[in-house]
Amino acid sequence: MVAEIISLQICVGHREPMNPVDSATFIEGFGIEGDRHAVKSGARTVRQVLLMDEDTLEGFGLGIGQVRENVTVRGIDLHEVPAGQRLALGDDVVVEITQFCAPCERMDEVRPGLREELFEQRGMLATVISGGAVNVGDQIQVLESASVS
């Protein structure tokens, strides 16, 4: 099965809804243009992009965007992708997985107890290594891991 992007979402502000988009611009070192986590403060953060796979969402009875992910994927179990692994999203964008996304209290607003249920299963955080455009339907390629010095 080919891994692909099935949905893209951005959030413009704190506690604002996730807005589905057909395409998004990923900015190297910052995140997704227009998303609240893409802050050009000079401080590099591990939370530039949140990726989540469709199978995990379905396993918890959740819909796309309910865990506040930016990128929803099909055909790859993101929780099996280790920190340091790079993924190509479409033709131009490369992201590097940084860590699991810790579930916050907002998850209990979706469903009581969901925060605890999602421990180490809320998706994977990533940083943008190479920017560009990403579209719904783009394929995902697993690349080399980042070098550890």
Return the SS3 of 130: strand
Return the number of other C-beta atoms located less than 10 Å from residue 80's C-beta: 9
Distance CA 112, CA 101 (A): 19
Q: What is the pLDDT of residue 82?
A: 95
Task: Kindly give, in sequence order, each residue whose CB lies less than 8 Å from that of residue 122, ignoring residues fewer than 6 positions away.
Answer: 50, 52, 67, 100, 101, 102, 103, 107
Each domain of the chain, given as residue ranges in start order, spans: 4-143
Mean pLDDT for all residues in the chain: 90
Identify residue 68 by its one-letter amino acid code.
R
Regarding the domain with residue range 4-143, which homologous superfamily does it belong to in the CATH classification?
PK beta-barrel domain-like (2.40.33.20)
pLDDT at 101 over 80: yes
Q: What is the pLDDT of residue 28?
A: 94
pTM above 0.75, yes or no: yes
- For 119-133, the pLDDT digits (tens) are 888 899 999 999 999
Q: What is the pLDDT of residue 128?
A: 95
Q: Token match 């997704």: residue?
A: 32
pLDDT at 32 over 90: yes
